[in-house]
Chains A and B, each alone.
Chain A
């Protein structure tokens, strides 16, 4: 448990010191929201959620890539793979939640007629999915540029795809969009249920994906036999 908390804490410390990057990342949800603010509020809130997802997954990608060289030696220092990826994920989820607060308050300050419980749930889904999503890309693609381009592609697809089409459900942030529709357009409960279910399933699958890749990458190699000190 101590290992998990220490990795989470160090992830937090590292991210909070990347102030320039964080500020630039936060600009995206903000501009997404502001650019449609005078038009259609629903679109504005959905863009905001997508922006939060983008910001957190990019932070996760950077954190994962930066830790690539460090993790093998931490493994040798006594950490198990799950300490490393779960600790990092915990740190990223915490950052994501902190970052979400002002964006949750933004529509509130505008006096928008929303179901704010729904907005909170959509934010949670967005952050919940984004951290393991960014980490998975970071573990699969060793360089930040490739990872960032892939993230950009996913976010663009997410933005342009028809949300009612069956293909939309394969995109990672569909859940927050669905819940946002419930929150903004006051649609029936089905949107909320589908969204929450999608959020849980996608988050679980992504965490499983990160766990699998990290466990393979940081596995004990078969050629190495450890004996106790005799």
Chain B
């Protein structure tokens, strides 16, 4: 019960744009208080929304994001596989410091859209403009079974001309943000599914991309890592990264700035478009 309350409270703080570090600190303090007193959070603090409001009044909020320049503009993306049209005229614009969610039912072309944005496959129509460096995290795969995590960091770092030591350190630091100590002597094939996805995600952020494309990267994450993941996205957004995340978990949509729903509106002849 405490966990549910704390989770709602943390989400509410984020929603009200309390700075990530301050929010984490406040939530930790509340958790400690509840653990020590053994009290019911609803009795001790009241509804999480109300308590979050009181916190905001007390410590203020982080400055609101200023809309940055457009980093990703996908226009009129259409893709067919044989006779089946999986994407029709999909459009999305993401600015620096924004998170966009791509949502929709299974098979509606979310991953295809992201792969087109990453330039991994070609659309039948439409174009994508990207300003700056691209990072991409696939839904699964994308790692080398017989390499260690450190070796993955070295491999990705070398692409940008980063020396081994700094690449290793940067990778471990990014992994730590997800609650994972990546320095072990374990090959990727021996990592659990969730840890492997942390490696996957860490690799995509290692090159400090201006546009980060994430295809349901949280597969196998436990609750704590999932919270860390969204916290890290918030940090990246605050640092000016434009983020596109494919998701089917609609409960996190209050944490994003733009939603592209690719669910067909009608059995035939539907159009997808972004909504602010």
Chain A contact residues, CB within 8 Å of chain B: 2-3, 6-7, 10, 13-14, 17-18, 66-67, 69-70, 72-74, 76-79, 220-230
- Choose one: A66, A67, A223, A229; the contact of B116 (CB below 8 Å): A223
B272 interface residue (CB < 8 Å to A):
no
Inter-subunit contact B69/A230 (CB<8 Å) = yes
Inter-subunit contact B155/A6 (CB<8 Å) = yes
Inter-subunit contact B116/A73 (CB<8 Å) = no
Inter-subunit contact A77/B207 (CB<8 Å) = yes
Inter-subunit contact B160/A225 (CB<8 Å) = no
Inter-subunit contact A66/B145 (CB<8 Å) = yes
Inter-subunit contact B123/A74 (CB<8 Å) = no
- Choose one: A66, A79, A222, A228; the contact of B159 (CB below 8 Å): A79
Q: Who on chain A is nearest to B115 by CB?
A: A72
Contact A70 to B123, CB < 8 A, known contacts A17-B187, A225-B129, A228-B132: no
Contact A7 to B161, CB < 8 A, known contacts A70-B143, A76-B136: no
Taking each of A3, A66, A227, which has the highest tally of chain B beta carbons within 10 Å of its own beta carbon? A227
Q: Who on chain A is nearest to B189 by CB?
A: A17
Chain B contact residues, CB within 8 Å of chain A: 69, 116-123, 126-136, 138, 141-147, 151, 154-156, 158-161, 187, 203-204, 206-207, 210
Inter-subunit contact B118/A76 (CB<8 Å) = yes
User: Which chain A residues lie closer than 8 Å to B69 at the CB level?
Assistant: 230
Complex: A13 Cα to B203 Cα, angstroms: 19
Contact A77 to B144, CB < 8 A, known contacts A13-B151, A223-B123: no
Task: Quote the shortest CB–CB distance from A53 to chain B (angstroms).
Answer: 23
User: Which chain A residues lie closer than 8 Å to B133 at the CB level?
Assistant: 229
What are 29 residue pairs bridging A and B, where the CB atoms are less than 8 Å apart in the complex? A2-B161, A3-B158, A6-B155, A7-B155, A13-B151, A17-B146, A66-B146, A70-B142, A70-B143, A72-B120, A73-B136, A74-B156, A76-B119, A76-B134, A78-B161, A78-B207, A220-B119, A221-B121, A223-B119, A223-B123, A224-B127, A224-B130, A225-B127, A225-B128, A225-B129, A227-B130, A227-B131, A228-B131, A230-B131
Inter-subunit contact B130/A77 (CB<8 Å) = no
User: Which chain A residues lie closer than 8 Å to B187 at the CB level?
Assistant: 17
Q: Who on chain B is nearest to A223 by CB?
A: B127
Complex: A10 Cα to B153 Cα, angstroms: 11
Complex: A70 Cα to B120 Cα, angstroms: 12
- Choose one: B126, B132, B156, B203; the contact of A223 (CB below 8 Å): B126
Task: Quote the shortest CB–CB distance from B96 to chain A (angstroms).
Answer: 9
Task: Quote the shortest CB–CB distance from A219 to chain B (angstroms).
Answer: 9
Task: Quote the shortest CB–CB distance from B62 to chain A (angstroms).
Answer: 23
Inter-subunit contact A77/B156 (CB<8 Å) = yes
Task: Quote the shortest CB–CB distance from A220 to chain B (angstroms).
Answer: 6
User: Which chain A residues lie closer than 8 Å to B210 at the CB level?
Assistant: 229
Complex: A229 Cα to B132 Cα, angstroms: 5
Task: Quote the shortest CB–CB distance from A228 to chain B (angstroms).
Answer: 7
User: Which chain A residues lie closer than 8 Å to B207 at the CB level?
Assistant: 76-78
Complex: A230 Cα to B240 Cα, angstroms: 13
Task: Quote the shortest CB–CB distance from A9 to chain B (angstroms).
Answer: 9
Task: Quote the shortest CB–CB distance from A86 to chain B (angstroms).
Answer: 14
Task: Quote the shortest CB–CB distance from B199 to chain A (angstroms).
Answer: 12
User: Which chain B residues lie closer than 8 Å to A13 at the CB level?
Assistant: 146-147, 151
User: Which chain A residues lie closer than 8 Å to B134 at the CB level?
Assistant: 76
Complex: A227 Cα to B160 Cα, angstroms: 18
* Beyond A77-B160, A77-B207, A227-B129, 19 extra complex contacts between A and B, CB < 8 Å: A3-B158, A6-B158, A10-B147, A17-B146, A69-B138, A70-B143, A70-B144, A72-B120, A73-B136, A73-B138, A73-B203, A76-B134, A76-B207, A77-B203, A221-B119, A224-B128, A224-B129, A227-B130, A230-B69
Task: Quote the shortest CB–CB distance from A165 to chain B (angstroms).
Answer: 41
User: Which chain A residues lie closer than 8 Å to B138 at the CB level?
Assistant: 69, 73
Q: Who on chain A is nearest to B131 by CB?
A: A227
Complex: A74 Cα to B204 Cα, angstroms: 10
User: Which chain A residues lie closer than 8 Å to B131 at the CB level?
Assistant: 226-230
Task: Quote the shortest CB–CB distance from A99 to chain B (angstroms).
Answer: 17
User: Which chain A residues lie closer than 8 Å to B155 at the CB level?
Assistant: 6-7, 10, 74
Complex: A225 Cα to B138 Cα, angstroms: 21
Complex: A150 Cα to B40 Cα, angstroms: 67
User: Which chain A residues lie closer than 8 Å to B159 at the CB level?
Assistant: 3, 74, 77-79
Task: Quote the shortest CB–CB distance from B74 to chain A (angstroms).
Answer: 9
Complex: A79 Cα to B162 Cα, angstroms: 12
Complex: A225 Cα to B210 Cα, angstroms: 14
Q: Who on chain A is nearest to B124 by CB?
A: A223
User: Which chain B residues lie closer than 8 Å to A223 at the CB level?
Assistant: 116, 119, 122-123, 126-128
Complex: A66 Cα to B187 Cα, angstroms: 14
